[in-house]
Amino acid sequence: MISAGFLQMIRDRIPESQAVINAPLRKAFMLVLFIDFDGSMADIGSRESSFHSTLLSGKMSLYCLHTAVTEQEKGFMIKTKYDIAVLGGGHNGLVAACYLALAGKSVLVLERNAAMGGATQSRQVFDGVDAKISVYSYLMSLFPRKIISDLHLDLSLRSRQTASWTPSIQDGKFRELLILNDDPIGNRRAFLELTGNQNDYRGYLKLQEMQQQLASVAWPGLTEPLVTRKEMQEQMGKDGTRAWEALIEEPLGNVLESLISDDLIRGLVFTDGRIGVSTYPHDPSLLQNRSFLYHVIGQGTGEWQVPVGGMGALVNELIRVAKSTGRVDFLTQAEVVRLGVGRTQCCVEFEMDGKPHAIDALIALCNASAQELARMTGDPWQPEESDIEGAAFKMNMLLERLPKLRSNCCEASEAFAGTVHIDEGYEGMLASYHESQSGKIPTKLPGEIYCHTLTDNSILSEDLNRRGFHTLTLFGLDLPYRLFENDNERLRNEVVEKYLMGINQYLEEPIEKCLARDVNGIPCIEAMSAVDLENKIHLPKGNIFHGGLTWPFVETRDEAGLWGGETNHPNVLLCGSAARRGGAVSGIPGHNAAMKAMELLQIQTV
């Protein structure tokens, strides 16, 4: 039995920020204390004199004091040691947990929110209304079929009938372009009617050809170790030289402006280069190129599909697979307060239900931002402001019926089945970018809308389907974190009103007349600024990519062969959007972190 005096000595000698001691120990008992004696891990149990001399000598580099606490409400005993600790229960962390559990490793997943899923949650957003909304992310393109197959996920993805509908009002004249999936003849006709010639359609097809050339090389490599820029370029071959230069080496604006002349078409193409980030066509940082790349290479085609059942279906499947192994424990409302890193293992200290806990793990996978990881480890972290600020705005709506369009070519059911581009002309977005960077809410707010229920109505109850209800999701651009930082609620409401006005200019009736109401009579509309995204799901400054997007290759030979989640600590890996090749709903950084962890575990067990 460890004496009370021994515990008091620990409290007196070890700084409070570095010790986790459950006090009082209530229904708990001491199991083991690990100390790194000049590099060797020693189980000192009740050897108080040995610990005392080590503590006083200053040789202790890592310790973790454990208590086993029966958490009856969680349904299992929290163990004191796991092979893997996953810090963050978003989809990437769940992917990693599944791979490692299927490989026979024990895993603990810690999530500080009340539910797993992170940005891939589905839930009932509006009081008393049985509609399971994909609250944050909503479409999928970058989730490899390989992961679905490897993990035996029962996940269904559906193609949308419509690719996009882009209306605009130019010099008082209404213009529009409807692009359908798998209808090249109809699309050619639509381009001709808009522009009066075939030039922009040919340019549009040429750009798609370049995208597919790059995708044929970049896409398969996302779930493999990293290669150098030179190696990936060589894989493109001579036929891919122009595509490489246009999409990788030069600002994206160059190729758009050389192939396409119409402002509306340039704009609808360029939106893929600025989803969630503040950038412009000729940005010398090439952030627009990196964003564009990840939005057009998914599955080798760039098609964005609808997850049947909403994003929550993906989370549910990953949890099902993880639980089926019997090797994964899940804890929600568990906030990691410190990650102690030693040479052979990590100590994860976390709080749950107001109580401190700690566990050991051979490897820790961080499914959070680099900023969060630095907070946990105590490492320095000083990024550039532009690397972390998000610029997204999200609106979720439930309608009693779809609004009537101001259109000569399609009905609402056809337009909203794809992506509806609102005020996303090329020059208009350049103006909105500059306004937002000068600290103003843009005069015209660019954004895009999509209706999940036109492709998959399973997220609504039978009653709502019978009554003709539909969901709408709006993703807004050019609304950086800094605009909302000091007056979030007022400015969020102002932006909502501006977006509704922006939508209404293309409708025969105000969309407000179509909004459903919850049981309290409140219109079913939810809005979130970058500040809200940070508060709700801990995205740093609302950045949906956790930081600056990276290229799918590295610059030096020393980096080649890495998986992309490596950190300064060999047994701590990034497994989320902050990893190289992270971002969007892809599962790729989760897969890659699991592959690296398996390599490390094999080395450690030799």
- Name which of 73-82, 533-542, 593-602 the model is least confident about: 73-82
Q: Is residue 528 part of a domain?
A: no
For the residues 368-394, what does the mean pLDDT come to? 86
Q: What is the Cα Rg of the chain in Å? A: 26
- In a 3-state reduction of DSSP, which class is residue 586? coil
Question: What is residue 271's DSSP assignment?
Answer: G
Give which of 371, 367, 360 is closest to 110, Cα–Cα.
367
pTM of the complete model beyond 0.75: yes
H or E segment to which residue 30 belongs: strand 28-37
Give which of 237, 212, 366, 364 is closest to 299, Cα–Cα.
212
pLDDT band (50, 70, 90) for residue 74: low
**pLDDT tens-digit map of 425-470:** 999 999 999 999 999 999 999 999 999 999 999 999 999 999 999 9
- Name which of 44-53, 92-101, 114-123, 243-252 the model is least confident about: 44-53
Q: Is residue 34 part of a domain?
A: yes
In sequence order, the 6+-apart residues with CB closer than 8 A to the CB of 466 are none
Question: What is residue 169's DSSP assignment?
Answer: E
Q: Is residue 323 part of a domain?
A: no
Question: What is residue 246's DSSP assignment?
Answer: I
Angle, helices 199-221 vs 252-259, to 10°: value is 150
Q: Is residue 16 part of a domain?
A: yes
Would you say 188 and 178 are in contact if contact means Cβ atoms under 8 Å apart? Answer: no
Q: Is residue 36 part of a domain?
A: yes
Strands 447-450 and 470-476: antiparallel
What pLDDT sits at residue 382? 75
Tell me the CB-side half-sphere exposure of residue 56, using CA atoms within 13 A.
7
Give CA–CA dist 349/539, Å, rounded.
Answer: 21
Strands 334-341 and 346-352: antiparallel
Q: Is residue 37 part of a domain?
A: yes
Residue 3 has pLDDT above 80, yes or no: no
In sequence order, the 6+-apart residues with CB closer than 8 A to the CB of 72 are none
Q: Is residue 469 part of a domain?
A: no
Would you say 89 and 111 are in contact if contact means Cβ atoms under 8 Å apart? Answer: yes
Would you say 188 and 177 are in contact if contact means Cβ atoms under 8 Å apart? Answer: no
Give CA–CA dist 100/591, Å, rounded.
Answer: 9
Total domains in the chain come to 1
What pLDDT sits at residue 34? 39
Which residues, in sequence order, are bridge partners of residue 170?
173
Give CA–CA dist 63/79, Å, rounded.
Answer: 17
> Domain limits at 23?
1-71
Distances (CA, A) of 211 to 198, 242, 528: 20, 11, 32
Q: Is residue 538 part of a domain?
A: no
